Chains A and B, each alone.
Chain A
Amino acid sequence: MITLRLRADRDFGRVPFLLSIASPVLVSLVVVLAVLSLGFMLRGQKDEIILVFGINALLVVALQVFVGSTGIVSFGHMAFMAIGAYAAGIVSLPVGLKAALLPDLPGVLKTIELPMFPSLVVAMIAAAAAAAIIGPAIVRLTGPAAAVVTLGLLVIVNQVLRHAKELTRGTQTFSGVPKTTTFAWVFSALVLAVLVAALFKWSSAGLKSRMARDDPLAAETCGVNVTMARLVPLVLSAALTGLAGGLWAHYLTAFQANSFYVAQAVPVIAMLILGGATSITGGMLGAIIVSTWAEITRFLEAGFEVGSLHLAAPRDLGNLTLGLALILLVTSPASRDHGAERGDAEPCPACSADWPSSGDPELEVERIAQALRGPVW
Chain B
Amino acid sequence: MTGFLQVFLDGLSLGSSYSLLALGLTMVFGVLGLVNFAFGDMIVWTAFLAVELTSIGLPLPAVIPLTLVGSVALSMFVGEVVFRRVGTQNPLSLLLVSFGLSLVLVALAVQVFGELALMFPSPTALNTVLQVDGLQISMLSLVNVAVAAVILAALFVLLNRSRLGLALRATAENARTARLMAVRPKSMVRLSFAITGVIGGVIALLWFMKVGTVTPRSGLDITLKAFIALVIGGLGSARGAVAGGFALGFAEAALASWLPVDLRGLQQALAFVVVVILLVLRPQGIGGRLLDVSR
Contact = CB atoms under 8 A, between A and B. Distances in A.
Interface string B201-233: 000000000000000000010001001101100
Nearest to B226: A148
B266 A327 contact: no
Interface string A344-377: 0000000000000000000000000011111111
B269 A160 contact: yes
A98 to B, nearest CB: 23
A323 interface: yes
A158 B267 CA distance: 12
8 contacts: A140-B279, A145-B283, A152-B276, A330-B97, A335-B93, A336-B87, A375-B173, A376-B238
Interface stretch (B9-17, B50-58, B122-130, B286-294): B286-294
Contacts of A159: 265-266, 268-269
Given A147-B95, A320-B108, A327-B104, A137 B280 contact: yes
B236 A217 contact: no
A377 B293 CA distance: 21
Given A136-B280, A339-B90, A151 B96 contact: no
Contacts of A326: 96-97, 99-100, 103
Interface of B: 26, 29-30, 35, 82, 85-87, 90-93, 95-97, 99-108, 110-111, 156, 159-160, 168-170, 172-173, 220, 224, 227-228, 230-231, 235-239, 263, 265-266, 268-269, 272-273, 275-277, 279-280, 283, 285, 289-294
Nearest to B115: A315
Contacts of A134: 276
Interface string A9-53: 000000000000000000000000000000000000000000000
Contacts of B285: 145
A331 interface: yes
Contacts of A152: 227-228, 231, 272, 275-276
A156 interface: yes
Given A323-B104, A331-B97, 16 more contacts: A73-B95, A73-B96, A143-B92, A143-B95, A145-B231, A148-B230, A153-B276, A155-B224, A159-B266, A326-B96, A327-B104, A330-B86, A339-B93, A373-B291, A376-B30, A377-B156
Contacts of B107: 314, 316-317, 319-320, 323
B111 to A, nearest CB: 5
B272 A155 contact: yes
A73 B93 CA distance: 10
A148 B231 contact: yes
Nearest to B223: A151
B110 A316 contact: yes
Nearest to B237: A376
Interface in A156-173: 156, 158-160, 162-163
A156 B273 contact: yes
A323 B82 CA distance: 12
B110 A315 contact: yes
Contacts of B93: 330, 335-336, 339-340
B230 A143 contact: no
Given A316-B107, A331-B82, A137 B279 contact: yes
Contact of A217 (B29, B235, B293): B293
Contacts of A141: 279, 283
Contacts of A147: 35, 95
B164 to A, nearest CB: 13
Contacts of B35: 144, 147-148
Contact of B236 (A266, A315, A340, A376): A376
Contacts of B104: 319-320, 323-324, 327
Contacts of B156: 377
A189 interface: no
A217 B291 CA distance: 12
A340 B92 contact: yes
A323 B224 contact: no
A320 B111 CA distance: 10
Contact of A327 (B101, B168, B235): B101
A149 B82 CA distance: 25
Nearest to B38: A323
Contacts of B277: 137
Interface in A307-326: 314-317, 319-320, 322-326
A266 B93 CA distance: 16
